[in-house]
Structure 1
Amino acid sequence: MTLKLALQTLILTALCGVGGFAASFLHLPLPFMMGPLIISGLIATVFADKLPDDYRFPMKFRIVFMSLIGVMIGSRVHADLLPEIPSLLASLAVLSGFVFAAHGLNYVIFRHLGGYDRPTAFYSGTPGGLMESLAMGEEAGANLAVLTMQQFFRIITVISIVPIGLSLWHGAPVGSAGGLSLGSAETSLSALPVALAVGLTGLFIGTTIKLPAAQLTGPLIAAAIVTVLGLADLALPQWVINLSQVVIGTSLGMRFTGLKGRMMVVAAGLSLISVTVMLALGALCAVLLHRFTGAAFDVLMISFAPGGVTEMGLIALSLQANPALVTLHHVYRIILTVIEMAVIARIRPKDRL
């Protein structure tokens, strides 16, 4: 990353950080991610001409902070969690059905309501596997600009609706909007180098063996191993968690650089319909599993919400749900979606998707 790009990114992140404090003052859910996302989204779409030519948010900068989020989630895994794994079989089985049903319903929405061509509708409707959907969709002849918008709108719509919906469900603000903290204000800076080393090690291994969402799952698994074995205390101070959310929110909003006009409005409307349908389906699955397994409804709801792995892990943390169990569900959802895409693409010609 050049010095010029680094300076531009630091200025942008600082500006969006102000949006995080404003969102915190307004008691918005996940304020230090939602505030920067809103600010950077406005900059990318309304004030794109004010940005330097060809500016792109550096993903390597983002990955460092995503690794720290992975460490934070992994540090919540303790040995007493392991006996719960067999009880997950029921929810993972239901999640399998959810993936196929959600993709089918989304295809109908994008194909018949949105009027998209078959490849674009098929890959826009995947309930996970963002990068894989873009890569396979481009290869199949999908409209990449539309596909990119729909996939990012899916994530942003989910992380906007889910915390608000759960606040309404509980009848009061929940998570960070209700004053809960993701980190520890008393943690010293001495824990940060160890956490960063564990995160980067997990990132390297996860990327090498090609784990799904490796920038999160690699550090998560590494931190979980370190925590379960009692090798180190990986607790992170609150300001590090807030900064990580600011960087992630800023980078998400900047994905919309240069997008404007009717196409964006249509994509946002279709995304709202699609996400509403998927969340309703996820809520139905959560209600059924709650009745048969006794698992908490809100934890199940987060587990079925088709957002980004990092973002849903943050929501789980902010609600004091078990982030490791929630993340496991989302990693499984991504793996299953990618397998489903590959199988269907292989057995059906792209003009018959």
Structure 2
Amino acid sequence: MPLPKLFKHTFGSSPRQFASYASTLVAAGVGGALFAYAGMPAGWLSGALVLTAVLALAGVPVAVSPPIRTATYVVIGTSMGATITPDTLRGIATWPVTMAVLGLSVPVMIGASVLYLEKVSRWDRRSAFFASVPGALSTVLIMAESSGADTRRVVFGQSMRLFVLVALLPGVMGGLGHQPAGTLPVTPVVPDLAGFLMSLGVGILGGLVAERANFPGGSMVGAMLASGFVHGLGLIEGRLPDLLLIASFAVLGANTGSRFTGTRLETLRRFLVDSVVALVIATAVALGFALLGSWLADEPLPKVLLAYVPGALEAMTIMAFVLGVDPAFVAAHHLMRFLALAMLVPVIARLFFGRAVVPSEAVEIDKSEPKD
């Protein structure tokens, strides 16, 4: 991309768009700082998310430019890869057990949510199904539109699930006995400039390759895999500096909160209770299977639960990183679920719903979302 075009894409093509991008980042910093000062778990992330979402619902134009979002994914993916050690690789031997239990949990999770939305909340079956699928949002939205689902319900249900999970999971994890090591990961910072540049360069390369290959999780997962490879071999030691991580957490919170841009209060009132109750049901199912997986594999319950909850790949992997849970374990489980759903959802949709005779309703809220 030519430099002038990249500059406009990053900072806005007009003063108004630049002001929107800049004010969003300022609001994210303020919200994150307030939550961090109050000692909230994952404060920089959840505080930025909450304040940005409030502004979006109030009609304030909030947005994060795609290049800044991508750069943020690379920074966090690179730092997550730095947590991978030979001990992590040895622990992979226990993962097939929890993977198998995860596979059992997904149809139960979807079925329970659909049952509530269809029978209690009176959603049509198509909308209830697509709103209940945990992850694989890009595939879900394409199939929902072509199958005649009410995409407003689907998008709102998916967005609300991500918002609630990111905002409340730190507290839930604490209630289950998990104590984060601190507000930032405990891996030591990379010791010198050469190591910093090498680590960041490896992450950028991995992110670019993953984006070009359309790999699930895109730049974040690509950066994490590349960084994890070199750190696992001991070629580089340490994560990126704290200031970069703090800024990245705030940007991620702003990006999630800005998804409520364009959401009408009427839509919020109509779908809020239905979406939250469906999330509670899905999370209860995830907790039940997490108890089973934790017992069978002798893994800590908070770690398995974070790998099973119905959240997006990037968001849940980042939550694991922030909360001091093995991000490689969490990412692997969400990635496997993503791949399975991306392959099966189109088949299920075609078999049970077919192509819509009447187009789905117009979308009233923002559908933009990074690949998960």
Q: Could you state the TM-score of these two structures normalised by the residue count of structure 1?
A: 0.89
Q: Report the Cα distance in structure 1 between the residues aligned to 2:100 and 2:189, rounded to whole angstroms.
A: 41
Q: Displacement of 1:333 after TM fit?
A: 1.5
Structure 1 residue 306: deviation in Å? 1.5
Cα distance in 1 between the residues matched to 2:127 and 2:54 = 26
Compared CA separation, residues 189 and 11, structure 1 to 2 (3 A): farther
Residue number in structure 1 paired with 2:350:
346
Q: Is the 8 A contact 1:185 1:237 kept in 2?
A: no
* Equivalent position amino acid for 1:174 in 2: Q
The match for 1:174 is 179
Q: Which of 201, 213, 226 is matched with 1:197 structurally?
A: 201
Q: Is the 2:203–2:226 contact (alpha carbons within 8 Å) kept by the matching residues of 1? A: yes
CA distance in 2 between counterparts of 1:286 and 1:32 reads: 27
Deviations 1:184-239 (A, max 9, x none): 68556835433332222112211222221112211111111121233323511111
Q: 1:30 corresponds to which residue?
A: 42
Find the counterpart in structure 2 of residue 279 from structure 1: 283
- 2:370 corresponds to: none
Q: Distance in 2 between matches of 1:8 and 1:148?
A: 23
> What is the CA–CA distance in structure 2 between the aligned matches of 1:337 and 1:278, rounded to whole Å?
16
2:70 corresponds in structure 1 to 63
Q: How does 1:290-309 map to 2 (within 5 A)?
A: 290-309=294-313
TM-superposed CA distance for 1:182, in Å, is: 2.0
Unpaired segments of 5 or more residues in structure 2?
A: 1-8, 357-372
Is 1:254 aligned to residue 258 of structure 2?
Answer: yes
Contact 2:85–2:231 (8 Å) recurs in 1: yes
Residue in structure 1 matched with residue 108 of structure 2 by the alignment: 101
Q: Which amino acid aligns with 1:132?
A: T
State the 1:56 CA deviation.
4.4
Conserved 8 A contact 2:81-2:223: yes
- Contact 2:56/2:260 (8 A) holds in 1: yes
Partner of 1:147: 154
2:362 corresponds in structure 1 to none
Question: Is residue 81 from structure 1 mapped to residue 91 from structure 2 by the alignment?
Answer: no
2:190–2:237 Cα contact (<8 Å) kept: no
- For the structure 1 residues 29 and 268, does the alpha-carbon distance in structure 2 shift closer, same or farther, using more than 3 Å as the test? farther
Q: How many residues are paired up?
A: 343
Moved more, 194-203 or 86-95: 194-203
User: Residue by residue, what CA displacement relative to the aligned partner does 1:34-67 show, whole Å, maximum 9, x if unpaired?
Assistant: 1111111111111x1x43xxx7432232111012
Q: Give the one of 108, 117, 135 matched to 1:110.
A: 117
Q: Does 2:30 align with 1:18?
A: yes
- Post-superposition shift, 1:334? 1.3
Residues 35 and 44, structure 2, Cα contact 8 Å, conserved in 1 = yes
Gaps of 5+ in 1: none
Residue number in structure 2 paired with 1:131: 138
- Given that 2:126 and 2:144 are in contact with CA atoms closer than 8 Å, whether structure 1 keeps it comes out as yes
2:5 aligns to what?
Answer: none
* Structure 2 CA distance for aligned equivalents of residues 19 and 188 of structure 1: 30
Q: Is the 8 A contact 1:184 1:238 kept in 2?
A: no
In angstroms, what is the RMSD of aligned CA positions?
Answer: 2.3
What fraction of aligned residue pairs are identical, expressed as a percent? 22
Contact 2:78 2:199 in 1 (8 A): yes
Length-normalised TM-score, structure 2: 0.85
* Contact 2:188 2:239 survives alignment (8 Å): no
Residue matched to 2:4: none
Compared CA separation, residues 236 and 251, structure 1 to 2 (3 A): same
Would the alpha carbon gap of residues 184 and 295 (structure 1) be closer, same or farther in structure 2, given more than 3 Å must change? closer
Matched with 1:240 is 244
